[in-house]
Structure 1
Amino acid sequence: MIENEEQAKAYCAERCDADAMERLTAFIKLLAEENERQNLVSKASLSCVWQRHIADAVQLLDHVPRETSPWLDLGSGAGLPGLILSLVRPDLDIGLVESRRKRFEWLERVKGEFGLSRCTIHGSRLENVESHENAVITARAFAPLGKLLDLSSRFSTRSTIWLLPKGRSGAQELSQQPAKIRAMFHVEQSLTDPEAGILVGTGRPIQP
């Protein structure tokens, strides 16, 4: 379990090259500056940003084979986790969906700042994004599980990996789904929060 900033930064350093760590460090500065203009993350979380946001995103890479691509991140907001993953692995095709204009503009600025040519930002509601297949779909605080799967199933295939960071509600949300959905997913312990889990699944959700 990652318990502090030092451990979180060391965890990231084990999984990132030197250039990626430089990008992450620069991103943290940009995030703090932009947070003064719009509420991207809670101010309190900036004091533990490596643990709360950076390592929290980087841990998702442990659940997929290294070259897996493309990814689709739903409701990216401040870029969590999609933009962080693109900063760590700019060689992967990663799409971010964010409908709020100010946050979309922020994501575009950061993409340009770091030259993330394989990062695509969709500035619209998910319902308006053209269907396309993804190897990985992730979402942090996007929607309750049932609604999330209903909205995003069309972006998945039978081999799509789902990585859905959840707080305490993860296991409860999963228990309320139909049996075929429960069979798709299991809960992994988050490394950055003892009370949080990650719903990990494979396949295309069966629609009712």
Structure 2
Amino acid sequence: MNGFDLDDVPGLNVSRETVERLKAYDQLVRKWNPTINLASKQSISELWSRHIVDSAQIFPHIPASSNLCLDVGSGGGFPGIVLATISTEHVPTRRFILVESDQRKAAFLREVIRSLKLRAEVRSERIESLEKIGADFFTARALAPLSKLLAFAHQHLSLQGVCIFPKGENHLEEIKVAQKLFRFEYQSIQSLTDPRSAILRIYGIENA
């Protein structure tokens, strides 16, 4: 496995059992990918560092009190499956809802949840038609611009809830656009896997 590993993530400490679960997940993605395209051909060779470690770096920034977590546009399970797997060790009561409208990807996610015995469920519908969740934690990776993500979060997040969004090199511009529509507090944390990217930790979302 090339590139970054879990040991490189600040504040993350996982057992050998959790690493083995994530390796099992890695193999499931590789097995299913030729059929339903869970990761691009270019990134599948770097699946561990580009997707699993990249998702895992979110975990230390999730409030320990977050019990109901929502991952929207879950796709192949990044970051939801990775975070649910790590949570099994550190916060075993934490529950995840993964929202994925693609039926084939939803079937894959359900197979991973069953295989890894995760405390998670899949909603195979669009976020726009989802009933209000009241989640403690909200995340999405490579789904939509920040302004649209905050609209979803404003609807589905609890009053004290927190969002964490991995964002690319245009994250500062996305923040400026979002600030025209919403008031919010945020922290920008440099991504471990790409120095041009950031992890945005957002809370206190209100309409502008």
Q: Same fold (TM over 0.5)?
A: yes
Q: Please identify, of 172-181 and 126-135, the stretch whose mean Cα deviation from structure 2 is larger.
A: 172-181
Q: Distance in 2 between matches of 1:95 and 1:177?
A: 25
C-alpha contact 1:133 1:157 (8 A) present in aligned 2: yes
Q: Residues 16 and 88 of structure 1 are in contact (CA less than 8 Å); yes or no, is this contact kept in structure 2?
A: yes
Residue 22 (structure 1) aligned to one of 15, 20, 23: 20
Q: CA deviation at 1:142?
A: 1.4
Deviations 1:13-62 (A, max 9, x none): 95211211111011111111111111111122122222111111111111
* Residue type of the alignment partner of 2:2: E
Q: Which residue identity lines up with residue 84 of structure 1 in the other structure?
A: V
The alignment of Structure 1 onto Structure 2 pairs a total of residues equal to 203
Provide closer, same or farther for how the CA distance between residues 191 and 200 of structure 1 changes in structure 2, counting only shifts above 3 A: same
**What residue in structure 2 maps to residue 113 of structure 1?**
115
Shift of 1:197: 0.8
Could you tell me which residue of structure 2 aligns to residue 11 of structure 1?
Answer: 8
- The residue that corresponds to 2:207 in the other structure is 207
Distance 1:179 1:69 in 2: 31
**Counterpart among 35, 45, 48 of residue 47 in structure 1:** 45
Q: 1:64 aligns with which of 62, 65, 71?
A: 62
Aligned amino acid, residue 63 of structure 2: P
Taking the TM superposition and a 5 Å limit, the aligned residue runs for 1:11-160 are: 11=8, 15-90=13-88, 91=92, 92-116=94-118, 118-160=119-161
What pairs up with 1:161-176 in 2 under 5 angstroms? 161-176=162-177
Contact 1:100 1:123 survives alignment (8 Å): yes
Q: Which runs of 5+ in 1 are unaligned?
A: none
Q: What value does the CA root-mean-square deviation take over the aligned residues?
A: 2.1
Q: Is the 8 A contact 1:9 1:50 kept in 2?
A: no
Instruction: Give TM-score scaled by structure 1 length.
Output: 0.89
Q: TM-score, normalised by structure 2?
A: 0.89
The farther-off stretch of 179-188 and 194-203 is: 179-188
Residues 145 and 6 (structure 1 numbering): CA distance in 2 closer, same or farther, change over 3 Å? Answer: closer
Residues in 2 aligned to 1:183 and 1:151: alpha-carbon distance in whole angstroms? 14
Give 1:6 deviation, angstroms: 5.7
Give the percent of matched residue pairs that are identical in Structure 1 and Structure 2: 32
